[in-house]
Amino acid sequence: MSATPASWAGDASDTPQLRRQDWLTIAVIGIAHAASHFFQLVIPSLYVPLAQAFDLDFARLGLLVSAFYVVSGLGQASSGFVVDRIGARPVLWFGLSCFVAAAILIGTATGYGMLLLAACVGGVGNSVFHPVDYSLINHRISSRRLGHAFSAHGLTGSLGWALAPLFIATLTTLWGWRVAAFGVAVLVVVVLALTVFARGLLTSPGTARKAAHSANSAATGGAPAAAGSASAAVSPAQADAALRAATPGEQVVPPTSVDEPAPAVATPTAMETLRALLAKPALWGAFLFFACTSIALSSVQNYTIPLLHDLYGVTAILASSALSGYMVASAIGMIAGGFLVSAQPHVERIVAISLVLAGATLVLLASGSVPAGWAAAVIMVAGFCSGVAAPSRDMLIRRVTPKGAVGSVYGLVYCGMDVGAAVGPMLFGLMLDVGMLRGPWIGAGIAFVAAALLAQWIALNARRAGQ
């Protein structure tokens, strides 16, 4: 008995019930994704109070973020295989629980060691979200709403980034940084509770297989069923009913005959799957694509505020508002990009044009030729352009993803994002230390253009493979 992925199976009849289920699923996945992006900026948002409380320099503060992303990258590459085997739902709960634990560690920290441990625990939690989210989107959402699902996924992530500095700054100002850390823990607990309440919307093939197996084990007392014994095994009709009860909302393919159980399908091992995936050049291109876009984003997130101050004389408050504006504009761009995915079959063109424009905008800012009063607006233009590319990017990766390996593929390629997030801050920090004040924005522009070229290469390989 197996669940039928709505998107792999083609367009089912678009009933009101199906539409409602799609949008509820998109909403729950989006809220969980927002929590992951929110937590990515928790430690950077606490830089100042942590530096004062523990007498930390920027090198040690930066090491906390690097540790977070190094652990996340290592975990992300492997968590995708776990998602494909046991389902997305338990892995999602594990990731959110890690965030709660990490926030509590920050709030109770007595020294740098506890902060470093909190960063590593948070990195473990962060590692699961892209394999989980994209596995659910590809298996749960109807094909006609895939573009909107990818758009909403990116949108909620950007909103999570935009919310974190405001949430933490407000609590820190009112009650101190420890209360802010505990506030983060409470917020994530609320999200975790929501995903438990909506667990019926978060089933995936691995989860469904476990439910069917549990139903069979319960009926047979845990012993393997004897071949040809009708009394020893649960009938396909009974297993189908148990699976539907355990996974409400999931589309299940009924057996063709109640007398003949479905044939067993051998599941490849993790190493077999890994070897098959690593033989695909397009997936290596996707890995590098995400690394480049993440390097560019790290420039914007970590250095926009000091660059606006040094190059344009913008105050810290206005510079912070400009950074939040970048995130909001990126979210708006993702909404627009969701409609473009449906209207344009060559999604790699959308990715390339959008990212080249975003890179050119940042290089223009680095030149110092933009009037100071317009600098924040130009930052927002760059955010909008990068946001437009996101849904098309996700659709492009889907084209090179083999069926049955969604979690594994997204885990591997999104590992590139963690690599870029770990390398970018150190690289651009060195540029600033040697006096290259324009370096981070120029580097971001180059990284965006490199990503645009990689998108074309991925699409070319997909066409050659007939995907």
Q: Which of 330, 319, 311 shows the shortest CA–CA distance to 442?
A: 311
Average pLDDT over the chain reads: 79
In tens, the pLDDT along 370-421 reads: 998 899 899 999 999 998 888 777 777 776 666 655 666 666 777 788 888 8
3-state secondary structure 365-410: HHCCCCCHHHHHHHHHHHHHHHHHHHHHHHHHHHHCCCCCCHHHHH
- Cα→Cα distances 274→279, 351, 410, Å: 9, 27, 12
Instruction: Specify whether the CB–CB gap between 148 and 336 falls below 8 A.
Output: no
For residue 270, the SS3 value is: helix
Give the residue, 221 or 88, on which the prediction is more confident: 88
Stretch 332-351: mean pLDDT, rounded? 77
Instruction: Specify whether the CB–CB gap between 94 and 127 falls below 8 A.
Output: no
Residue 294 to residue 88: CA distance in whole angstroms: 24
Per-residue pLDDT band at 39 (split at 50, 70, 90): very high
pLDDT at 4: 41
Share of the chain above pLDDT 90, in %: 30
Q: Which amino acid is at 253?
A: V
Per-residue pLDDT band at 365 (split at 50, 70, 90): very high
pLDDT at 232: 39
In tens, the pLDDT along 276-303 reads: 555 666 777 888 888 999 999 888 887 8
pLDDT at 299: 87
Q: How far is CA 97 from the centre of its chain?
A: 17
Instruction: Specify whether the CB–CB gap between 129 and 79 falls below 8 A.
Output: no
- pLDDT score of 169 more than 50: yes
pLDDT at 459: 82
Residue 4 to residue 387: CA distance in whole angstroms: 31
- pLDDT score of 304 more than 50: yes
Q: Which of 274, 218, 277 shows the shortest CA–CA distance to 243?
A: 218
C-alpha torsion angle, residues 9, 12, 14, 16 (rounded to 10) = -90
Stretch 440-448: mean pLDDT, rounded? 94
Q: Which amino acid is at 210?
A: K
Q: Which amino acid is at 206?
A: G
Structure tokens belonging to residue 466: 């007939």
Residue 3's DSSP bridge partners are: 252
pLDDT at 257: 40
Q: Which of 277, 280, 278, 292 shows the shortest CA–CA distance to 453?
A: 292
The set of residues, in sequence order, having a beta carbon less than 8 Å from that of 391 and lying 6+ positions away, is 147, 150, 151, 154, 334, 337, 338, 340, 341
For residue 3, the SS3 value is: strand
Per-residue pLDDT band at 245 (split at 50, 70, 90): very low
User: Please, what sign has the CA dihedral across residues 47, 48, 49, 55?
Assistant: positive
Q: Which of 281, 279, 277, 323 shows the shortest CA–CA distance to 300?
A: 323
In tens, the pLDDT along 182-194 reads: 999 999 999 999 9
User: Please, what sign has the CA dihedral across residues 396, 400, 402, 404?
Assistant: negative
Q: What share of the chain is helix, strand, coil (3-state, %, to 5)?
A: 80, 0, 20
pLDDT at 345: 63
- Quote the longest CA-to-CA distance of the chain: 81
Structure tokens belonging to residue 288: 């590098």
The total of other beta-carbon atoms located within 10 Å of residue 408's CB is 29
pLDDT at 343: 54
Share of the chain above pLDDT 70, in %: 76
pLDDT at 243: 36
Residue 234 to residue 212: CA distance in whole angstroms: 10
Give 369: exposed, middle or buried? Use CB within 10 Å, 0-12, 13-18, 19+: exposed
Q: Domains (ranges, CATH) in the chain?
A: 15-202 (1.20.1250.20), 269-467 (1.20.1250.20)
Per-residue pLDDT band at 358 (split at 50, 70, 90): very high
For residue 142, the SS3 value is: coil
Give the residue, 211 or 111, on which the prediction is more confident: 111
For residue 417, the SS3 value is: helix
Structure tokens belonging to residue 250: 């999931």
Stretch 251-276: mean pLDDT, rounded? 46
Residue 88 to residue 72: CA distance in whole angstroms: 17
User: What DSSP element (H or E) covers 77?
Assistant: helix 58-86
Residue 218 to residue 224: CA distance in whole angstroms: 11
Residue 240 to residue 319: CA distance in whole angstroms: 57
Give the residue, 421 or 355, on which the prediction is more confident: 355
